[in-house]
Structure 1
Amino acid sequence: MVYEDETVVAFMDLNPVTPGHLLVVPREHAVGLADVDAATSAHVWSVGHQMARALRRSSLRCDGINAFLADGEVAGQEVFHFHLHVIPRYAGDGFSMTADWKQRERALLDDDAEEIKEALARGLGRD
């Protein structure tokens, strides 16, 4: 256990990508983003930020940090309890996330933005 309070715990990942890889997990069960309340989600990210700062100051001497959250099986979620990975990065560590990045036309980006704004207006982005 690296950190704990009444809302979250932070502990070392059993199968780390790199040395120092840890997880920030709410104590209350929530499967994914839609299941966790805004205050808990914000606290998870805040503690993740603290963990990243501590990793940077530690003797592990990482060169960077990735914060990673998988929401849903198609997004790579394997453990169905909401959690944030805080992964220290080192030059040449071999970890990568690859994608076929393609530029999207402005009109399509604008359409997507409108869909999201409409969902927010309907309250779908709020608790």
Structure 2
Amino acid sequence: MGLQKDNERRVFLNNEECPIRNVVAQIGDKWSILILFALVDGPDRFNSLKSRIEGISQRMLTQTLRDLERDGFVLRTVYPQVPVKVEYELTELGKGLSASVWKLVSWAGDHHADIRKARQQYDEESER
């Protein structure tokens, strides 16, 4: 495993086996958590996701969905009809991740004003 203890302090290894680097790097990007939470209520189509996640480009949505699918968090289903219908939904792994991350997301919502205030105070002090 990538996390070890050395004299009661955590040591974070720089390799693919480190779960923190391996998993958190993916879900900690700018868009992954937003996409996961957009899919919490059920399957959705690409254009609907794009319209609900303000600021995401088509290219970034495509790439992030592919990455989430590769990691087993999202299932892509293509329906053979004309025009082709494609839906994305959370897998059980994705639902578990979403539930686990919800506490962080809730905390961020509850403390966003405090964080913005701290940033402003820091920036003002740094200008002196």
Range into which the TM-score falls when normalised by the shorter chain: under 0.3
| TM-score (norm. length: structure 1) | 0.26
Q: Relative contact order (C-alpha < 8 Å, sep 6+): which is higher?
A: 1
Structure exhibiting the larger radius of gyration computed from Cα positions? 2
Q: TM-score, normalised by structure 2?
A: 0.26
